[in-house]
A and B are shown apart, each in its own frame.
Chain A
Amino acid sequence: MDKKTTQLHKYHLSQEAKFIDFGDWSMPFSYEGTLKEHDIVRTSSGFFDVSHMGRLEIQYSEIEKISKLICSEIIDIPTNKALYSIFTNADGNALDDVIFWKFDDKIILIPNASNSEKIKSHLDAHNVEFIDKSPDTVLIAVQGPDTIDLIQDKFDIPEKFSTNFSENYLYARTGYTGEDGVEIMANNEDAESLLTFLIEKGIKPCGLGSRDTLRLEASLPLYGFELSEDITPVEASLTWTITNKNDYLGSKRINDQLSGESHKVLKKFIIDSRKIARTETVGIAGETKGLVTSGNFSPMLNKSIGFILFENMPSQDLIEFDIRGNLVEGNIVNKRFLS
């Protein structure tokens, strides 16, 4: 089957991007190289075509129904806020981690590309009405410390983690790289002029390769790796997202885990070398066995980093990894990779 491509595919081809299959999609993996693009986002500004992610428009009146499906408080936060949260199933496990953009009259829900159909079915099953805007729009994440300076003559920049809109765009000061920036949703017919604007500002295209090293370095989970339908937000060390005080789907199990019931534990680790402990590498901390969910090289730390899921809370921080038959030591870190 032919892979899906985004509205900006011709541009990616013109830039001789390398492509990668990502679920049903063929997406740019890199243009000038993952490490170079990583550096661009950490030091200046880069943009990512993330139009493979979903964009569902939901009328504000549906908010109470949504509140019963996610682990975060969504009703009481201000209407111009962006919210990272998790749709949970009846067992409290993660169906998807998503972003909500709240506006006065509506909410934009951004599910992961691979979970869009699942979330749409889930909303249908719980009588939440939505309009799928994904086919008619693009989503571009502009990220990096220079971003705000570069785009503020065209965009009225909201506070961090807040939303705003103009005639042609809906946007929020969010991202998934650990840097300041905005994510912009535009109708397909406005995509080209947005692209031209970004390019004229000297903002460089970046691919999913650097998006992955950036999000990992920013200590952010990725669905399909850290998150799945086999892990709760508590187990994924996303307890900070659990702010919904009311009953919601799966809240009982989540509350039981918060009250001390034994559970799996996702931890971050650093290896003091460039040897990468990749997904499914076995790591043992004392008596506790774990499996790496994501691992890669951190350009900022010049070390190898990652997430590892342990069967239960490990008793020590030293991890012994079996990297393709070689014993490599690493350490659990409890703070973020980047301060």
Chain B
Amino acid sequence: MSDIKYLETHEWYLMKDDEITVGISDFAQNELGDIVYVTLPEVGQEFEKGAAVVEVEATKTVADAYAPMDCTITAVNSQLETEPETINNDPCGDGWMFKAKVNTVDDSGMSYQEYETFVS
């Protein structure tokens, strides 16, 4: 399995060299319920660790997905603009939200097992 890591704020990230791919966890999408809209960042935007990057509108509530570390956006998953339900259907795969170049490495996320314990 890959080296996906999880944050207490329920994002996952996968770091490869100096780039991360980020989305929200299966637990998070399940808690949010049907996702109907996402506001994605612009390529080139810089975020500090913990800053709100993506706004996720679900029928139940609205939530933010935060930057796992200081980073600069390199790509966004534009499929989510028309099919935001992809996050519900495949949160850790096709439902990825953005890719970003890491500016300050902070690989302190939880492993899958640690995260499972955290949310249970």
B33 interfacial contact with A, CB 8 Å: yes
Q: Tell me, in angstroms, the Cα distance from A242 to B36 when the chains sit together.
A: 37
Task: Report B85-117 residues with CB < 8 Å from chain A CB.
Answer: 85, 88
What number of B residues sit within 8 Å (CB to CB) of A? 14
B27 interfacial contact with A, CB 8 Å: no
Q: Tell me, in angstroms, the Cα distance from A89 to B34 when the chains sit together.
A: 39
Nearest-CB distance from B104 to chain A (Å)?
26
Task: Report B37-86 residues with CB < 8 Å from chain A CB.
Answer: 37, 39, 55, 57, 59-60, 62, 84-85
Task: Report A170-191 residues with CB < 8 Å from chain B CB.
Answer: none
Task: Report A256-293 residues with CB < 8 Å from chain B CB.
Answer: 273-276, 278
Q: Tell me, in angstroms, the Cα distance from A274 to B55 when the chains sit together.
A: 12
Nearest-CB distance from B49 to chain A (Å)?
21
Residue on A with the closest CB to B37? A274
Nearest-CB distance from B118 to chain A (Å)?
19
Q: Which residues of A contact B60 (CB under 8 A)?
A: 29, 34, 209
A296 interfacial contact with B, CB 8 Å: yes
B37 touches A273 (CB 8 A): yes
What number of A residues sit within 8 Å (CB to CB) of B? 16
Known contacts A29-B60, A34-B60, A209-B60, A276 near B37 by CB under 8 Å: yes
A324 interfacial contact with B, CB 8 Å: yes
Known contacts A297-B57, A324-B55, A278 near B62 by CB under 8 Å: yes
A275 touches B33 (CB 8 A): no
Q: Which residues of B contact A35 (CB under 8 A)?
A: 34, 36, 59, 85
Q: Tell me, in angstroms, the Cα distance from A30 to B30 when the chains sit together.
A: 11
B37 touches A297 (CB 8 A): yes
A275 touches B59 (CB 8 A): no
Partner of B33, one of A209, A273, A274, A278: A209
Q: Tell me, in angstroms, the Cα distance from A167 to B59 when the chains sit together.
A: 40
Nearest-CB distance from B29 to chain A (Å)?
11
Q: Tell me, in angstroms, the Cα distance from A275 to B36 when the chains sit together.
A: 8
A297 touches B59 (CB 8 A): yes
Contact surface of B with A, Cβ cutoff 8 Å: 30, 33-34, 36-37, 39, 55, 57, 59-60, 62, 84-85, 88
Q: A34-B34, A296-B59, A297-B57 are in contact. List 14 more A-B contacts (CB 8 A).
A: A18-B33, A33-B88, A34-B60, A209-B60, A274-B57, A275-B37, A275-B57, A276-B57, A276-B62, A278-B62, A297-B36, A297-B37, A297-B59, A324-B55
- 14 CB < 8 A contacts A-B: A18-B33, A33-B34, A34-B33, A34-B60, A274-B37, A274-B84, A275-B37, A275-B39, A275-B57, A276-B37, A276-B57, A276-B62, A296-B59, A297-B57
